[in-house]
Amino acid sequence: MTKLARDGRPLPMPNPTTQPFFDAARDRTLKLQRCPRGGVFFYPRNRCPCCLADDWEWENLSGKATVYSFTVDRMGHDSNLADRVPYVVAAVELAEGPRMTTNIVGCAPEDVKVGMPVEVSYEDVDDVTLINFRPV
């Protein structure tokens, strides 16, 4: 679910299952669940999407990733983000395996490439922390 930040952008509304992920982000840690069989998965779930078991454990990750793909949104498909164009929407592949949706920050949109190494970059907005990535 989303709520609007004071500056108008949509923010995540954590729930009991996802709260540890957002709490860790606030503390500048990228933390996800690891299943002993399926490995690290994203996003947080009550059961592993590989085997539906619940013997996963939270784990702190490296924060390293590569750009799997991206686009530059030129018109703001979310009108709540229209004043931020152009911005880079990306799917990054974490070093530990799973993909995440994010924004690439810290460089010009033209400089983003598929396969580019990136690292996590935190952004506090109101009471939530967004997880962006920036070039290494």
Strands 10-12, 2-4: pairing kind: antiparallel
Among 52, 55, 101, 108, binds another protein (CB under 8 A): 101
Choose one: 8-16, 23-31, 32-40, 58-66; the region binding another protein (CB under 8 A).
8-16
d(C-alpha 36, C-alpha 55), whole Å: 7
d(C-alpha 28, C-alpha 19), whole Å: 14
Please tell me whether residue 14 binds another protein under the rule CB under 8 A: yes
Please tell me whether residue 13 binds another protein under the rule CB under 8 A: yes
Q: Say how far residue 75 (Cα) sits from the centre of its chain.
A: 22
Q: Identify residues 57-96 at the interface with another protein (CB under 8 A).
A: 68-79, 81, 84, 87, 89-91
For 47, half-sphere exposure in the C-beta direction (CA atoms, 13 angstrom radius) is 5
Residues near another protein (CB under 8 A): 1-2, 9-15, 18, 42-43, 68-79, 81, 84, 87, 89-91, 99-103, 109, 113-115, 130
